[in-house]
Amino acid sequence: MKIMVIIAHPNLNKSRANQALTLELKKHTGIYARDLYQEYPKWEIDVEREQRLLLQYDRIVFQFPFYWYSCPPLLKKWFDDVLTPGWAFGRGGDHLKGKQFMVATTIGGSENGYRSGGSNWFTISELLRPIQSTLTRCNGTYLPAFVTYNADEGTDGYLADEAKKYAEHAQASMRVLVH
């Protein structure tokens, strides 16, 4: 299975958690990891290139920090620009049919804060529903997300362990992820 990870962190160099996740991915030859903010510093997304890349991979993982209950703005722009009607959805929009999509996100807060009645009122699965809905509307299969909680305060050892779990999760078969 060919896997592409689209990393969307506005300050990747300053993120201990996302750096740890990214460094672990680079140890795996079957994963192509890209930094969206590095590739498009002026936010001028090459839509045709992005669509060609999507066609080359079986699984696409979106890695980003979760803040303000969403993804960073360049990733939202990427969704808006790349996932076009007639290509990704709607009449003739079946290019992503059969593709597997996954979210990998880092959260500064605790897991208890992301539960029904917790300080954020909703589970992370509920908060990721707009992204899930976007990807399933594009005829893709949405796989369970990988979430690293306590990213801001996690020790280097904790982040290294999370990174290993993330690489395993990103490469796991759909049968393992969906039971």
Q: What is the pLDDT of residues 111-167, one digit of tens each?
A: 878 888 888 788 889 999 999 999 999 999 999 999 999 888 888 999 999 999 999
Which H/E stretch holds residue 134?
Answer: helix 129-137
CA distance 24 to 132: 25
Query: At a CB cut-off of 8 Å and minimum separation 6, what does 65 contact?
Result: 9, 15, 17, 18, 72, 105, 106, 107, 151
- Does the pTM of the predicted model rise above 0.85? yes
61-115 pLDDT, tens digit per residue, is 999 999 888 999 999 999 999 999 999 999 999 999 999 999 999 998 878 788 8
pLDDT at 60: 98
pLDDT at 109: 80
pLDDT at 169: 92
Q: Residue 49 — very low, low, confident or very high, per pLDDT cuts 50/70/90?
A: very high
CA distance 78 to 69: 17
Name the residue among 99, 78, 79 with its Cα closest to residue 2. 99
pLDDT at 42: 97
- For residue 33, pLDDT beyond 90: yes
Amino acid at position 175, single letter: R
31: left (phi over 0), alpha (psi -120 to 50) or beta: beta
CA distance 141 to 97: 8
DSSP per residue, 71-104 = --HHHHHHHHHHS-BTTTBSTT--TTTT-EEEEE
pLDDT at 87: 96
pLDDT at 104: 97
**Tokens (6 digits) for 153:** 């305060």
pLDDT at 81: 97
CA distance 48 to 104: 25
CA distance 111 to 108: 9
pLDDT at 174: 84
pLDDT at 176: 85
Domain regions of the chain by residue span: 3-177
Q: Residue 173 — very low, low, confident or very high, per pLDDT cuts 50/70/90?
A: confident
In CATH terms, is domain 3-177 a member of 3.40.50.960?
Answer: no
Query: At a CB cut-off of 8 Å and minimum separation 6, what does 86 contact?
Result: 92, 93
